[in-house]
Chain A
Amino acid sequence: MILYHLNHLRELEAEAIYIIRETASQFERPAMLFSGGKDSIVMTHLARKAFYPARIPFPLLHIDTGHNFPETIEFRDKMVAEIGANLIVRNVQDSINSGRAKEEKGPNASRNMLQTITLLDALEELKVDAAMGGARRDEEKARAKERFFSHRDEFGQWDPKNQRPELWMLLNGRKHQGEHFRVFPLSNWTEMDVWMYIAMEKIDIPNIYFTHQREIVKRDGMLLANSEYITVRETEKAEMMTVRFRTIGDMTCTGAVLSPANSLQQIIEEVAASKTTERGTRSDDKRSETAMEDRKKAGYF
């Protein structure tokens, strides 16, 4: 009977497509969060597969911190044009200008926390009742606890001690007025699965995932890209290094890794040999032991 057995990547693909279709069916105004990172690119690819030959029947929503890598924005705009998706952008800068959000101070200032405000405002403004995100359970210990369909109260908050049971694949998206859901189609994927799938499906990704020369500032054991968004301290200096990124977030908090990998095959070998998690390159998770849980409870992705 081995003949009728899906390999595990195809099984994960089938599961994710099921979840995306379920979201499109059960909700009135779903949206897919798009950050320009590999997970949201894979999720968008799966959404195309789910509804082909029709277009993706919901908008992509990008919460732009204003601190993105320029390569990410370029990639985003090219991809959206190619697949004919409807992209909505909401800017953290606008939340700051209107006084809804307050910029952090100091050399480690980041807009990571502010994103949540812009996100929740955008969900309310656009009346989004289900926001799909590319978060994976293998990323972080609080994310390991998340359901596929994760209920949020009217304040956008997550109550990890009181989650709805989720039986089989019978996903319950019923809710009261004002509440919404976060949906995680890639829950069961690992970093390795994502890379293998990108290689298998030949999915295009931003070039900063591959090796390149870049001016780097070493800070707290992290390799930060030098940019207008970070302040180089007196004790620090910016040096050219051969690097690539394992995850793509804000330039202010995403660390690079030294790497000569210039093909997917080499990236996959690197991931297989890696001794640290990919979130290890993110300073936003290093702020405290429960940094992710605290942010998630408040409505972060």
Chain B
Amino acid sequence: MSDFSKDGYLNMELLRFTTAGSVDDGKSTLIGRLLYDSKQIFEDQLEAIEQRSSQRGFEHVDLSLLTDGLKAEREQGITIDVAYRYFATPKRKFIIADTPGHIQYTRNMVTGASTANAALILVDARKGVLEQTIRHSFIASLLQIPHLIICINKMDLVNYEEAAFEKVVDEFKSLSSKLDIKDVSFLPISALLGDNVVDKSKNMSWYNGPTLMYLLENLHISSDENHIDCRFPVQYVIRPQQTEYHDYRGYAGRISSGIFKPGDKIKVLPSEEIATVKTIELFGEEIPEAYSPMSVTITLDRDVDISRGDMIVRENNVPNILQEFDVMVCWLNSTPLQGGGKYALRHTTKDARCIIKDIRYKIDISTLHRNEEDKKIGMNDIARISIKTTVPIFFDSYRKNRHTGSIILIDESTNETIGAGMIV
């Protein structure tokens, strides 16, 4: 593996990215190629997939086997669930979520994409933009993934022609004009043969842009967190049962956004009590400034009644505190969404219940139009709904804050997570 100094390793940034796109467009092969060409595959792993490929009589080593690790996936040659892979270059450490393209497994794509800073959307140069390409791109924009990289793949099958590339670029641009996307790049690649993945292609002299690896190493990700609105959902209250810490009360949690400092005047929700931050600490060490995504423990200057599910915010910058709001929801279960139905809801560290007051519209995936007539929301559908919760929820819109703007809906009888919601 590549050599890097200890100090260099400690200063690396983490980039989480996901693959997306229709079935067989080459997502898993691309991840395999990325790992292979950057020499991140171990000998025993490579031997195992070489053996497996030759047993099957393949011409090439099937690099998709590096992520398609389940028996059922290898048998069917498709990805079923997200596989996570890791690699590091001297610049960055990467967490890859390789997700399935098959429509049946869209919920697993949403799982992999929900925490990503970047998405690689693959398109087969021969087939162009397909329904799943649109669905995944729409989900990526709903999830507010800050960077999209459109990889136009299988260029080897269209003679590496610029016209084929441009045609897909145009198609995608007419789609993306209807989406809310901040940063898009387009790349012509062959995942199978490695063109423009880590090494510059010798077959496409007309292309002067960066390789995929270069892009991944150089995306600007430091501005992806919200450092303005201070939000600290209380996760756990620390009350030591040791006499020396008899009066200690620490509020443990992970900072959603903003920058907290000792001395800050804060407000506790829902009690609206005011207090001052005494210390921010972890393992006895005091932290001068705490920001997302740190996990810390906060102590206050006075005793306030605080429990899990409460939120600590700045006195003069509070989130919405409401029981009725609208949500864009991706439906993830084969049991359809029930208008008027009751569900369990989870928001930050808070559990509540909710009732579906209204199904406003469903997104027609082929046109991206709003359909206000069709209220049947089934598996993989995306809709805007209005909900009412049993207790007030302290939220920001998802666009402003991915942590305090997201919810999940849970079926109370099966306990399954059935909806992913982004508060409008």
Residues of A whose CB lies within 8 Å of any CB of B are 1-2, 4-15, 17-18, 21-22, 24-25, 48-55, 137-138, 140-142, 144-145, 147, 160-161, 163-170, 172, 174-176, 187-188, 190, 192, 196, 199-200, 265, 268, 272-277, 279-280, 289-290, 293
Contacts and interface: CB of A to CB of B under 8 A. Distances in A.
A167 B14 contact: no
A50 to B, nearest CB: 7
Interface residues of B, number: 83
Nearest to B6: A268
A8 B239 contact: no
Interface stretch (B127-135, B168-176, B310-318, B407-415): B407-415
Contact of B241 (A55, A138, A163): A55
A74 to B, nearest CB: 25
Interface string B77-97: 000111111101000010100
Across the A-B interface, give the 10 residue pairs with the lowest CB-CB distance, nearest first: A141-B69, A8-B14, A54-B240, A174-B415, A17-B295, A14-B295, A280-B44, A49-B283, A165-B107, A137-B84
Given A167-B110, A272-B1, A276-B44, 14 more contacts: A1-B222, A7-B11, A9-B10, A17-B295, A18-B254, A22-B235, A25-B236, A25-B308, A53-B245, A161-B80, A167-B408, A168-B402, A188-B95, A289-B52
A198 B27 CA distance: 34
B71 A293 contact: yes
B346 A165 contact: no
Interface string B383-408: 00000000000000000001100111
Given A8-B13, A24-B236, A188-B95, A276 B417 contact: no
A138 B86 CA distance: 7
Contacts of B254: 14, 17-18, 169
Interface in B210-249: 222-223, 225, 227, 235-236, 238-242, 245, 248
Contact of B85 (A50, A144, A272, A290): A144
A199 B6 contact: yes
Contacts of B9: 192, 196
Given A53-B240, A164-B417, A168-B114, A200 B83 contact: no
Contacts of B253: 21
A172 B415 contact: yes
